[in-house]
Amino acid sequence: MMVIWIVGMSGSGKSYLAKRLKKKITILSNKIKWIDGDKFRERYSKDLGYSLKDRKINSRRIQKHCLKYFKKGYIVICSILSIFPSHQKKNAKIFKNKYFQIYIKASVGKLKKRNNKKIYSKKKQVVGKNIIFPKPYKSDLVIKNNFNKTFLKNLRPIVNKIYEKI
């Protein structure tokens, strides 16, 4: 059991990486849970908006959801915007040496240009536009996404780290 927390701005490739990572590690366990931030919000946080207060509440809910599956012996992959370093720090305490944080770093300029989810066209409460995306707390791995074919080459070092931690 462990928690793999994949953070980055909207459109940076978190879900893309998580989906491929889940496929790669199914040989380790049949108990794998992928929690996608957007899907989680649709299902469990419809009552929340996008203010910082609501984002904190949603982040805590996701954290509790991860803990539930972690305690049941799952490998949990969580792809989430995660703009609160204090929550990341708490994750490191809760999950101890079974926590692996990956930060996907992408330039705001490229994200705005790609705008694949039309997030950056919105006027208010957009992380990377008018809400600052702070540097994540102690990521175990930082991956720079230039949106080219080399991005998936990062799977091997991630899988190797997972083997080490399990």
Which residues constitute the domain of residue 139? Answer: 2-165
Query: Which CATH number belongs to the domain containing residue 41 in this structure?
Result: 3.40.50.300
pLDDT of amino acid 119: 66
Number of domains in the chain: 1
DSSP letter for each residue of 5-68? EEEESTTSSHHHHHHHHHHHHTTT-S-EEEEEHHHHHHHH-TT--SSHHHHHHHHHHHHHHHHH
pLDDT of amino acid 64: 94
pLDDT of amino acid 121: 67
> Would you say 102 and 88 are in contact if contact means Cβ atoms under 8 Å apart?
no
* pTM of the shown model: 0.89
CB burial of residue 13 (10 Å; 0-12, 13-18, 19+): buried
Q: Which of 81, 71, 3 is nearest to 36 (CA)?
A: 81
pLDDT digits (tens, 9 = 90+) for 48-65: 988 889 989 999 999 999
Q: Which residues of the chain are under the pLDDT cut of 70?
A: 115-124, 128-129
Alpha carbon distance 89, 93 (integer Å): 7
